[in-house]
Amino acid sequence: MTTTIDTSTLLDWISRFRDAVTEKREWLTELDSAIGDADHGANMTRGMAAVVEKLDGGAPATIDELLKTVGMTLVSSVGGASGPLYGTLFLRMGMAAGAVEQVDSAGLAAALRAGLDGIVARGKAEAGDKTLFDAMAPAVDAFDVAVAREIPIADAARGAADAAAAGRDATLPLVARKGRASYLGERSAGHLDPGAASMAILFETLAAAIAGAS
Ligand code: ADP
Ligand code: MG
């Protein structure tokens, strides 16, 4: 069973995320058509296609280079809120990991935490605002707790994915307080947040990539 994450596992994660958002494009668009402008599926699909194309020649040698490439490509290829937010997530993860070839579970936990902090610095979302934060924050918390308990990294990632999915589902009754959906006020309640839905996919594919590396 793997105890570290290297650039090839991260590359596998990125490619799985591209595949999954492409496969779920219609659903993400439907969610965004209910409380936004119906472009979240297109935004994520376009952004991740650009990322995979950029990384076509193989993974950069170090984790920071890999994740910074992902982040910069998302920022530059996706208009709309999700590009800068997901872009910042990957940029901050890369900066936190540094110029290393692999990280252990504590290193991945610190990188994910830095990514979450970057999203907050950029978008100012708080818990319950009905954003992608509501899927990511519980996932990062669950991962931290699992790592502190010395739970194997694949199980920690599985738990984080489950927490992200629960966080996504918990956005259903919320009234949006950030982003386009907030313009709807009370009418935003009763719909899942599209960004929380794509964020749960991000953690699901991370768990799958780590399980695949085991
Ligand atoms: P846009 O809203 O510009 O059309 P997308 O549709 O791609 O961009 O992404 C919408 C998602 O972005 C929302 O569902 C929400 O999860 C997320 N989002 C919007 N604003 C913020 C914010 N300030 N902080 C965190 N997430 C946000
Ligand atoms: Mg949108």
Digit-coded pLDDT (tens) for 14-63: 999 999 999 999 999 999 999 999 999 999 999 999 999 999 988 899 99
C-beta atoms surrounding 3 within 10 Å:
11
Q: Which ligand is nearest to the CA of 194?
A: 1
* Ligand 1 pocket test target in 25, 33, 82 with most atoms within 8 Å of CB: 82
pLDDT for res 123: 97
Digit-coded pLDDT (tens) for 107-122: 999 999 999 999 999 9
Share of the chain above pLDDT 90, in %: 96
* Ligand 1 pocket test target in 74, 75, 133, 178 with most atoms within 8 Å of CB: 178
What is the number of the ligand 1 atom nearest to the C-alpha of 78? Answer: 7
| CB within 8 Å of 200: residues ≥ 6 apart | 135, 139, 161, 164, 165, 167, 168
What is the number of the ligand 1 atom nearest to the C-alpha of 180? Answer: 2
Q: Which ligand is nearest to the CA of 202?
A: 1
Quick one: fold of 4-213? 1.25.40
Ligand 1 pocket residues where CB is under 6 Å = 32, 36-37, 39-40, 43, 80-82, 85, 119, 123-125, 131-133, 178-180, 193-196
Any idea where the domains of the chain sit in the sequence? Answer: 4-213
Task: Band the pLDDT of 163: cuts 50, 70, 90.
Answer: very high
Q: Per the confidence metrics, is the pTM higher than 0.95?
A: yes
Residues with CB in 5 Å of ion ligand 2: 32, 36-37, 39-40
Ligand 2: centre distance to CA 61 (Å): 34
Digit-coded pLDDT (tens) for 119-151: 999 999 999 999 999 999 999 999 999 999 999
Digit-coded pLDDT (tens) for 77-93: 998 899 999 999 999 99
Q: Which ligand is nearest to the CA of 197?
A: 1
What is the number of the ligand 1 atom nearest to the C-alpha of 44? Answer: 7
HEC sequence for 120-180: HHHHCCCCCCCCCHHHHHHHHHHHHHHHHCCCCHHHHHHHHHHHHHHHHHCCCCCCCCCCH
